[in-house]
Structure 1
């Protein structure tokens, strides 16, 4: 799992774009396409070299702080910004679906990690696919956050601008 803030920001961008493309058409279809585009954005973002807060050997022991500060806090802040701007609206729903899709592969990874779900059938296929294209540095220095993560900060600013 890379820094979840990057996925959240890209999910906002996907959601706003989905809203712009599909708002005047079928709401349910537009939300489904936006959620699927969010999932695709996750895979594309994971393919780009990036760092993590902790190495893979320390994820389980740091899972709660990662969930609170890296996953939930940015989602609440960015969704809150959208809500303050447009209220409870179709745009907020599109952003929610974009963010949800952008995090779904890592949520499934987390559920597998804590043995809440089993790697069988479509879940196993998704996990194998996710891990196969996820960028993995080979040394401990390549796994941690660094200059290669500037693109995630750019995505945050772009998402904030698009809100």
Structure 2
């Protein structure tokens, strides 16, 4: 049986599939009521499953009719792609976040399965055993590979 977090994630992704644009608006309390869970469970899903590395941007509007906007990032414009990649990777990146970013690129159809596997191996801790600053080297390698693929 799927965990509640997985079910909520799939529900939100289904909202993207049914929506013509790349933005979904949700109200945390209403979604929590629908799934009979605490609003903090919705926060957990948003902060772990809809991250920048996975190709999403979360914006929340507070107040009376407040909502949370989940934007699916697009990679149409090459300059925009490079900016998004640099912002999501930064100067350093952990293996976990690199993995999430590479998986997002695969799910978005930007890279193929084989490229995904090669990239994961290249930035794996075992591949960087002698490196002093693995996260910096990992970021540089990942940026280089993605820039070549996107060019």
* TM-score normalised by structure 2 residue count: 0.33
TM-score under structure 1 length normalisation: 0.32
Q: By percentage of residues, which structure has more strand?
A: 2
Larger radius of gyration: 2
Which structure: greater helix fraction?
Answer: 1
